Amino acid sequence: MTAIAVTKDSFEEVVAANDIVLVDFWAAWCGPCRKFAPVFEEASERHPGAVFAKVDTEAEQELAARFGIMSIPTLMVFRDQVLLYSQAGALPAASLEDLLTQVEALDMDQVRREIAAREQEEPAAASAATRS
């Protein structure tokens, strides 16, 4: 499966409609982006159950700004609409494979419980700080 281009209009739909989505934020003028592109494409062939999406930061500046993209390439990985990974820099093939293996092995119910617990702790900490 080859990577698909996503835009600000299709991004949410792609993430919502698929279990695992890897998003490569890139630009044509970016040397590391061009070097990472074949690694990303090859991984898409080995993982047909995941969606590999590309966001051209030049054409989709609003989407790049929404995610605070400051450096490219930036790779984001979503599973069940939860952002699990976001990091700038081109990954070597072995590291991308390892990342995908880890994402596929996650217990998403446990991940959601951990997120919920963190969200409950943050308002309590903020509330305590304002009382001081």
Q: Is a pLDDT exceeding 90 seen at residue 105?
A: yes
Q: pLDDT band at residue 120, thresholds of 50, 70 and 90? A: confident
Helices (H) and strands (E) in the chain, counts: 5, 5
Q: Domains of the chain, with CATH numbers?
A: 4-106 (3.40.30.10)
- Over residues 22-43, the pLDDT tens digits come to 999 999 999 999 999 999 999 9
Do residues 116 and 63 touch, judged by C-beta distance below 8 A? no
- Categorize the per-residue pLDDT at 132 as very low, low, confident or very high, splitting at 50, 70 and 90: low
Residue 123 has pLDDT above 90, yes or no: no
What percentage of the chain has pLDDT greater than the value 70? 92
Q: Could you tell me the pTM of the whole model?
A: 0.87
User: Token digits for 45?
Assistant: 């062939």
Secondary structure class of 60 (helix, strand, coil): coil
Q: Where are the beta strands (DSSP E) in the chain?
A: 4-5, 20-26, 51-56, 74-79, 82-88
CB atoms within 10 A of CB 76: 19
How far apart are alpha carbons 117 and 121 in whole angstroms?
A: 6
Residue 2's φ and ψ, nearest 5 degrees, are -90, 160
Residues 55 and 6: their CA atoms lie apart, in Å, by 6
pLDDT of residue 80: 95
Q: Confirm if 33 and 41 have CB atoms less than 8 A apart.
A: no
| Amino acid 40: pLDDT | 97
Active site residues: 30, 33
CA gap 58, 47 in Å, rounded = 27
